[in-house]
Amino acid sequence: MTKSYYFLGAGGIGMSALERYFNQQGCFVAGYDKTPSHLTDALEAEGIRLHFADDPELIPEECRNPQTTLVVYTPAIPASSREMAWFRQRGFEVLKRAAVLGLLTQQKRGLCAAGTHGKTTTSAMAAHLLRESAVGCNAFLGGITKNYGTNYLLDAKSDYVVIEADEFDRSFHHLRPYATVITSADADHLDIYGTEEAYLESFSHYTSLVQPGGALIVHRGLRFEERLQEGVRRYDYSRTEGDFHAENIRIGGGRIVFDLVSPLGNISDIELGVPVSINIDNGIGAIALAQVAGVDADSIRRAMATYSGVDRRFDFKIKTDTRVFLSDYAHHPEEIRQSILSLREVFDGRRLSAIFQPHLYTRTRDFYPDFADALSLLDEVILLDIYPAREEPIPGVTSRLIYDRLRPEMEKTMVDKTHLLDVVREKSGTFDVLVVLGAGDADNLCPEIAGILQA
């Protein structure tokens, strides 16, 4: 019988949701992460025991019995991990985080959001739609929702669990969704998949995992083969076409309102609580999941208007008539392109600047021309060094690859992160709309940047 859970990579946003779940179930929960953070501080305050050195001697006594302890790990944990080796040598059951989530989708009706980008916002929206209705839900999300201040929601009475389905390392192949939306399938994680064809094949396999009686909801224009089991309902969606789409879209005055056309019931006058145009697509996907689960139109209309967003997803820090500052997690070229186009649409005619921190050497190597093309849609870019995350440097792969391909006439600056605040101070009077882009740690400087801009 499992009494204790030990997490390798405990500070990850997805891992922390599972830690909170088992902690609330009354189990002993502990783990290791390389670096402390605001999130690990919060986990420790909730009673989860963490340490920050890869040392088997620090594993608590409660987690040293293979008969009563399950070890959960993230794919970001390196093969050289001493603690991982300690557990494996002693016969502990060791599961990927995704495999544990997969067990939950077999116990409850899983409503999943997958895709290269858009999955965090879409799953967070769907969870809010269900929570604001009589249906309710549990949720394991890839970001901290502003409505609830957490990435984990518990509702013991609900039969539904909303899960962000991550394609990294084929993790989403462990899931068995009742219904899933697929937002996008632009090649990524080629360090894992090798080729775009292999990446798309992973989505093809994922579609075969939807349970009979459930539903597959796919954004129009995606290029993979669908392999549905018999009895699975199939829908498509997009901003202006498909089984689910928007009509009578009204954008202006900082608001976005639209009418939804749906095979499960049309809904008029839906207002986005986070009014950026890409959230029309994300919102339609989330509403489709909610309607499949039986959420009524009034609940959907009310919840969409009160949805407050997710940390680092179009996360506005300053929003006035004269100055806008926000952070966005976009770290794939197509995500960045959509982020910039959305800001262009909402803040039409205003000067748009970005601070961009490339994420991973391999992603920069594989997509630097696409990054440059997307960033060239800006009026100005401040380019930081590559954030390595789990990777070692690759000779010749630096931010300079992107910088040298940027539109020649645009304003551009390369700077080390340690000098970023100095550059922001120098340029502070020139910024109109400024966004911090990327999945690295530059976002940690947002409070200081906001202070400079407000001063």
Domain boundary among 58, 73, 96: 96
Domain boundary among 287, 306, 325: 306
Domain check: are 81 and 16 in the same one?
yes
Domain check: are 116 and 29 in the same one?
no
Domain check: are 147 and 219 in the same one?
yes
CATH number for position 363: 3.90.190.20
Domain check: are 254 and 154 in the same one?
yes
For residue 103, being part of any structural domain is answered with no
For residue 101, being part of any structural domain is answered with no
Domain check: are 117 and 262 in the same one?
yes
First to last CA, the chain: 58
Helix (H, G, I), strand (E, B) or coil at 156: coil
Residue 394: give the domain boundaries: 315-454
Closest to 321 (Cα-Cα) out of 341, 353, 343, 350:
350
Domain check: are 349 and 290 in the same one?
no
Domain boundary among 35, 70, 96: 96
For residue 102, being part of any structural domain is answered with no
CATH number for position 262: 3.40.1190.10
Closest to 119 (Cα-Cα) out of 142, 91, 96:
142
Which residues have C-beta within 8 Å of that of residue 269, sequence separation ≥ 6? 257, 259, 301
Decide: pTM greater than 0.85.
Answer: no
Domain check: are 8 and 58 in the same one?
yes
Domain check: are 115 and 22 in the same one?
no
Provide, for the chain, the percentages of residues in helix, strand and coil under a 3-state DSSP scheme, each rounded to the nearest 5.
35, 25, 40
Domain check: are 325 and 429 in the same one?
yes
Q: How far is CA 32 from CA 77, 229, 441, 448, in A?
A: 10, 40, 20, 29
- Per-residue confidence in pLDDT tens, the chain, 455 aa: 789 999 999 998 889 989 998 998 899 999 999 889 888 999 999 999 999 999 999 999 999 999 999 999 988 788 789 999 999 999 999 999 889 988 888 889 999 999 988 999 999 999 999 999 999 999 999 888 999 998 889 898 999 999 999 888 898 999 999 999 999 998 787 778 889 999 999 999 999 999 999 999 999 999 999 999 999 999 999 999 999 999 999 987 778 999 999 999 999 999 999 988 889 999 999 999 999 999 999 999 999 999 999 988 888 899 888 899 999 988 889 889 989 998 988 888 899 999 999 999 999 999 999 999 999 999 999 999 999 987 889 999 999 999 999 999 999 999 999 999 999 999 999 999 999 999 899 989 999 999 999 98
For residue 338, being part of any structural domain is answered with yes
